[in-house]
Chains A and B, each alone.
Chain A
Amino acid sequence: MNKTDALIIGAGPTGLFTAHQLKLIGLDCEIVDNLDKIGGQCIELYPDKPIYDIPAVPECTGEELTNNLINQIKPFNIKTHLSERVDEVKKEGDNWFVKTNHGKIFLTPNVIIAGGVGSFEPRKFPVKECEKFENKSIYYSVKDKTVFEGKTVSIFGGGDSALDWAVELSKKSHVNLIHRREDFRGAQATVDKVHELAKSGKINLYTKYQLTNVVGENNLESIEIKHDSKEIKTIKTDFVLGFFGLIMQLGPIAEWGLNIDKKTVAVDTEKFETNQKGIYAVGDICSYPGKLKLILSGFHEGALAARACFKLARPNEKYRFEFTTSSKTIKDRLGVKSD
């Protein structure tokens, strides 16, 4: 059981800066994120894309912004729980009881949802029958590559994940690589390698094909793929891997008794509190009149939510506003020398 003054759900820019604000005013906090890395959409969707509207930063990429925010909270040693999705939030006395999909439990008076558009989950095949074989012979990520040794693996996708695994698995498995068009969007060196392996017969390449059916009783036996020209091919295969990137899904947040409309959570603009006392929403996931989905708005919202947390975390103390330029207490927290 982890006890903390505030639990932040989401390690994107808004979650990170909210953590900074909480620690600055002397509160503890911990961060949970479903991704295996810090940065949220900035890292997952556009690490290399330049952003031009962060105040006082003329230009930076999603990755640079994330790294700067990580540096900014470094002095605070904040505990971050990655690859954990918060599944359950329920009231327990004056606290919120929070449980993740892997069974981590938190007890806290304040929960700050900085969840963007929800948690990232793998995109799946549109073919309904695939569900039957999911995690048995159809996978959307590779946890143990040894299960594929000596088997036939059909890989779908045209990005780095699909290409990297096609190259890697072709060493010890029969690999089919299937993609909806002729161009691949992976790194050029990997694309070249794939074509080379296809030429030498190590990879069977099927372009302009998409999955239309999967066949098998208990075990997957074959798949049907359809060409742009409508021609259908049946391929015997033991495993199917799909790499179509990640999709954001609101997920369990919908079940916590919050006011949700169009995948966003209604909040007030004083504390950024939801209809549940002690649960706040900041960043892209919150909505209020005039809401702008900008990173800078998330920073503002997080700063105010952090102050609101103080009241519930320290009911017997009064929060006093201080500037980082002049407060000795704040400088001590940051570990910098006072003048």
Chain B
Amino acid sequence: MAKINYVTHDNQIYSVDVQNGLTVMEGAVQNDVPGIDADCGGGMACATCHVYISDDWFDKLPSKDDGEEDMLDMAFEPKKNSRLSCQITISDELDGLIVNIPSKQS
């Protein structure tokens, strides 16, 4: 279990306990956190679960798989600290993770 802090573009903070094994995307969708669409359902095929990771957390996350960077090309306003939240699996180590949700997914 890890507490994940989802910050929307207008600075609303949703702090949610998410069980290990779920993804950051699923944690948002299951807890009605707005702004993460996840149209393809976690298949790394749509780039609509795009989030920005705060600097101090970015390097602590498991690194990107092949294909994630390709999908990020299609995301809305991708930045250096962009990730697809469906590719980040929750573990105890991620307790306190802060993810920033972009203003739009498409």
A-side residues, CB < 8 A to B, are 41, 45-46, 49, 117, 123, 126, 157-159, 179-181, 183, 185, 210, 228, 244-245, 247-249, 263, 284, 293
Partner of A180, one of B46, B48, B78: B78
* Contacts A45-B46, A46-B45, A249-B106 given; does A126 touch B77 at CB 8 Å: yes
Contacts of B77 in A (CB 8 A): 126, 210
* Contacts A228-B80, A247-B46 given; does A123 touch B106 at CB 8 Å: yes
Partner of A248, one of B39, B70, B74: B39
Contacts of A157 in B (CB 8 A): 73
B-side residues, CB < 8 A to A, are 37, 39-41, 43, 45-48, 69-70, 73-74, 76-78, 80, 104, 106
CA distance A117 to B37 in the complex (A): 10
Please state if A244 and B73 are interface contacts (CB–CB under 8 Å). yes
Contacts of B106 in A (CB 8 A): 123, 247, 249
CA distance A319 to B47 in the complex (A): 44
CA distance A244 to B70 in the complex (A): 10
B interface, over-half SS: loop
CA distance A117 to B40 in the complex (A): 8
**Apart from A117-B39, A123-B74, A245-B47, 20 more pairs, CB < 8 Å:** A45-B40, A45-B46, A117-B40, A123-B76, A123-B106, A158-B70, A159-B74, A179-B73, A180-B73, A181-B69, A181-B73, A185-B70, A185-B73, A247-B48, A247-B74, A247-B106, A249-B106, A263-B37, A263-B39, A284-B41
Please state if B43 and A245 are interface contacts (CB–CB under 8 Å). no
16 sample A-B contacts, Cβ–Cβ < 8 Å, listed by A number: A41-B40, A41-B45, A45-B40, A45-B45, A46-B45, A117-B40, A126-B77, A126-B104, A159-B73, A159-B74, A181-B69, A185-B73, A228-B80, A244-B74, A263-B39, A284-B41
Closest to A124 in B: B106
Which A-B residue pairs are the 4 nearest by beta carbons? A45-B45, A247-B106, A185-B70, A245-B74
CB distance from A166 to the nearest CB of B (A): 15
Closest to B29 in A: A262
A interface, over-half SS: loop
* Contacts A117-B39, A117-B40 given; does A158 touch B73 at CB 8 Å: yes
CA distance A36 to B80 in the complex (A): 34
Closest to A185 in B: B70
CA distance A41 to B48 in the complex (A): 14
Contacts of B76 in A (CB 8 A): 123, 126
Please state if A45 and B43 are interface contacts (CB–CB under 8 Å). yes
Please state if A46 and B73 are interface contacts (CB–CB under 8 Å). no
Contacts of B74 in A (CB 8 A): 123, 159, 244-245, 247
Contacts of A49 in B (CB 8 A): 43, 45
CB distance from A98 to the nearest CB of B (A): 24
CB distance from A248 to the nearest CB of B (A): 5
CB distance from A267 to the nearest CB of B (A): 18
Contacts of A158 in B (CB 8 A): 70, 73
CA distance A245 to B78 in the complex (A): 14
CB distance from B68 to the nearest CB of A (A): 11
CB distance from A101 to the nearest CB of B (A): 19
CA distance A249 to B104 in the complex (A): 13
Contacts of A117 in B (CB 8 A): 39-40
CA distance A250 to B43 in the complex (A): 19
CA distance A172 to B40 in the complex (A): 39
Please state if A248 and B46 are interface contacts (CB–CB under 8 Å). yes
CB distance from B40 to the nearest CB of A (A): 6
CA distance A181 to B64 in the complex (A): 15
Contacts of B43 in A (CB 8 A): 45-46, 49
CB distance from A260 to the nearest CB of B (A): 15
Contacts of B78 in A (CB 8 A): 180, 210
CA distance A228 to B82 in the complex (A): 13
Contacts of B80 in A (CB 8 A): 228
Contacts of A180 in B (CB 8 A): 73, 78
CA distance A339 to B47 in the complex (A): 52
